[in-house]
Amino acid sequence: MTSSAQNITEPDVDTVVVGAGFAGMMAVRRLLEQGRTVHGIEKGGDVGGTWYWNTYPGLRCDVESVEYSYSWDEGLQQEWVWPERYSAQPDILKYAQHVAERFDLKKHFEFNTKLTRATFDNAANIWTVTTDTGNTITARWVVMATGALSVPKKNDLPGAETFTGLNLYTTSWPKTPVDFAGKRVAVIGTGSTGIQVSSEIAKTAKELFVLQRTPSWSVPAHNRPLTAKEIADVKANYASERLRKRDSMDGLGLPGTGKSALEVTKEERDAFYQNVYDNMSPFTFFGSFTDVLVDDAANQTISDFLGSKVRERVKDPAIAEKLIPKSYPFGTRRTCIDTGYYEIYNQDNVHLVDLLENPLKAITPTGFMTDAGAVDVDIIVHATGYDAFTGVVSDVDIIGVDGVNLREVWNAGAKTYLGTMTAGFPNLFLVTGPQSPSVLSNVVVSIEQHVDFITDTIKYLTDKGYNRMEATPEAQDAWVEMNNGIGQFTVHRNSHSWYMGDNVAGKAHVVLPALMGVGPFRAACDEVAADGYRGFALAS
Ligand code: NA7
């Protein structure tokens, strides 16, 4: 496509969709169902999004597979069989491939193609989208289905470029297997990724050094193959259960006691926590008692329970204490699931390097150096996280009304209305954008809600003859203020994490995910739509 943005009145296509992950594939499908012309752009060589890029050993989803899957096609959910409770990356990628082929979606995407610039024509109400392949395409609407966790945090390790051994990045892992046998390996980072990859590498590496700055809470995945009966039961009730879950707080519909953690005895509390620990999603802890996410003392009861579990699992009491988070409330950083993570510290070949005790001074040509001295390694595995929510707009130019760059606007703190649109950027829709539940939910449920909202909106606008939609600054400010207000009401008020943008130097501290919950968020979106898209300015 080679249209020029000058003096155009009709775009090349109706909608450009950026990204071929779970969100992008569904958006394309929905728009095609409406009979629209759609052009998809995808940086990777195939569909799958995060499951295409992240192929490191040990990678599994932390949401059960029967739930981490689309609900929008009954035939699809009935025919697909998940092999395990928490599927490994290859199985999730296989599912993405199956969806793309079943609905013939691939032909609508230009792969190996990165969006570099999008410019809004304020008179024509048309976006001109430019890619790194040199193509330009114009569209009325742009849907950014680019994921909240898709751009790695820039490497900020001093001396990183001097290392002469093998650098591996979990976010762009080699497509051929890496052999760690006989190797001395350092893993930097102990978030969800670091925990998963360390647990795997510990099995074969000669020596493994896990560099931990902030410990994460992790509970056993209890992963296992699903039985035929479990699969049949899920399928028999899929439709009704999906409906129940999409109106829940977390998109998972997990059970809670409905009581205050401080009203019940320690025995009653711990019995509930033990059942969660042994059998349920770790996210059940969040709604286990009504006050654990708002009251510090109630929250501490979970940390006390989980701390005792770490002490049981790690033989050396000093190491166990280092692995127990003590600097933040439970739930204000991602809770992880693991398969034998804490037990690796009972192995002679695994060493915890506590960077709080001995800060990392530098990466050296042969390894790393802390205050405790130098360590030589053959391989460094970087599991240092993402520039969450805003990373995508940081390395492209999205130019809205009056030539303003979205990157500059968000520098002061990302702001949206309903997680969907930013004032000054008409006709540009974000899927699971800042101030939407996304990472604090079963993200597939949130993706489906958001894609439905966006594509229904595009249909509404077209049917009514509107060519332009934009969030008003007032509605946007009120939405962001409300979300920050909820943050102040919860244990997030004192937290510092990537949920708040704190992991990236210079990034503004703002509550990035919506804290109101998946069901209430859906209701808010539905109310706005029913009220003629209150808070958005519509124009022909
Ligand atoms: P996370 O959760 O952001 O974890 C990144 C880890 O890397 C975390 O332990 C960081 O410590 C550590 N890190 C980052 N930079 C450094 C430097 N410079 N020095 C030492 N340690 C560092 O990313 P993940 O990929 O594990 O997980 C992201 C999400 O993906 C996860 O929640 C799931 O939803 C899927 P810090 O906390 O900054 O002290």
Chain centroid to Cα 406, Å, comes to 21
3-state SS class at 339: coil
Distance CA 274, CA 287 (A): 14
Q: Which atom of ligand 1 is nearest to the CA of 190?
A: 9
Ligand 1, atom 15, residue with closest C-alpha: 384
Q: Which amino acid residue places its CA nearest to atom 31 of ligand 1?
A: 192
Q: CA of 289: how far to CAs of 88, 270, 275, 295, 306, in Å?
A: 31, 11, 14, 10, 15
Rounded distance between C-alpha atoms, residue 396 and residue 116, angstroms: 5
pLDDT of 495 reads: 86
CA of 498, closest atom in ligand 1: 3
422-440 pLDDT, tens per residue? 999 999 999 999 999 999 9
- Residue 198 Cα to ligand 1 midpoint, Å, equals 13
Ligand 1 atom nearest to 214, measured from its CA: 39
13-47+105-151+387-539 shares its CATH topology with 154-202+350-385: yes
Give the C-alpha separation, 95 to 68, whole Å: 11
Cα–Cα distance measured from residue 421 to residue 434, given in angstroms and rounded to the nearest whole number: 9
Ligand 1 atom showing the smallest separation from residue 439 Cα? 34
Tell how far the Cα of 81 is from the centroid of ligand 1, in angstroms: 32
Q: Sign of the CA dihedral 192, 193, 196, 202? A: negative
> Is residue 379 within 8 Å of residue 185, measured between CB atoms?
yes
* Strand ranges, E, within 19-175: 38-41, 109-110, 115-121, 126-131, 136-144, 166-169
Residues 6 or more apart whose Cβ sits within 8 Å of residue 266? 301
How do residues 148-182 score in pLDDT, each as one tens digit? 999 999 998 999 999 999 999 999 999 899 999 99
- Report which secondary-structure segment, H or E, holds 338: strand 336-338
Environment class of 264 (CB within 10 Å of its CB; exposed 0-12, middle 13-18, buried 19+): middle
List the Cα angle 90/438/497 in 5-degree steps: 95
Q: How many Cα atoms occupy the beta-carbon half-sphere of 485 within 13 Å?
A: 6
Q: Give the single-character DSSP code of 524.
A: H
What per-residue confidence (pLDDT) applies to 7?
Answer: 62
**If we measure between CA atoms, which residue out of 40, 12, 14 comes closest to residue 105?**
40
List the residue whose alpha carbon is closest to atom 23 of ligand 1.
385
Residue 503 contacts residue 439 (beta carbons within 8 Å): no
CA distance 144 to 18: 5
Token pair for 252: 């998972």
CA of 191 to the centre of ligand 1 (A): 5
In angstroms, what is the span from residue 137 Cα to ligand 1's centroid?
A: 36
pTM, to two decimals: 0.96
Asked if 40 contacts 108 with a C-beta cutoff of 8 angstroms, the reply is yes
- By DSSP bridging, strand 115-121 and strand 360-364 are unpaired
- What integer pLDDT is reported at residue 395 of this predicted model? 85
Helices within 257-356 (DSSP H only): 266-279, 296-313, 317-323
pLDDT less than 70: residues of the chain: 1-7
Kindly give the distance from the C-alpha atom of residue 384 to the centroid of ligand 1, in angstroms, as a whole number.
4
Confidence (pLDDT) at 9: 79
What's the pLDDT score for residue 351? 98
Domains of the chain, residue spans: 13-47+105-151+387-539, 154-202+350-385
- Please give the pLDDT value at position 4: 44
CA–centroid distance, residue 431 to ligand 1 (Å): 23
Distance from residue 153's CA to the centre of ligand 1 (Å): 9
Closest residue (by CA) to atom 10 of ligand 1?
189
User: How far is it, in rounded angstroms, from Cα 166 to Cα 378?
Assistant: 6
Return the CATH number of the domain spanning residue range 154-202+350-385.
Answer: 3.50.50.60
Give the C-alpha distances (Å, rounded to integers) separating 306 from 167, 239, 250, 466, 519: 33, 34, 21, 54, 28
Q: Give the Cα separation of 280 and 256 in Å (integer).
A: 12
Pocket test for ligand 1, best of 384, 386, 509 (most atoms within 8 A of CB): 384
Which structure tokens are listed for 152?
A: 């790695």
As for ligand 1, residues whose beta carbon falls within 6 Å of it are 149, 156-157, 188-194, 213-214, 334, 355, 360, 383-386, 439, 498, 503
Q: Give the phi and the psi of residue 170 in degrees, each rounded to 5.
A: -60, -25
Among protein residues, the one with the nearest Cα to ligand 1's atom 14 is: 384
Task: Check: CB of residue 16 under 8 Å from CB of residue 151.
Answer: no
| pLDDT score for 2 | 41
User: Which residue of 150, 213, 328 sits with most ligand 1 atoms within 8 Å of its CB, as the best mutation to test the pocket?
Assistant: 213
Which ligand 1 atom is nearest residue 157's CA?
Answer: 18
Query: For residues 40, 7, 454 and 465, what is the CA-based torsion angle, rounded to 10 degrees?
Result: -130
Judge: domain 13-47+105-151+387-539, CATH 3.10.20.30: no
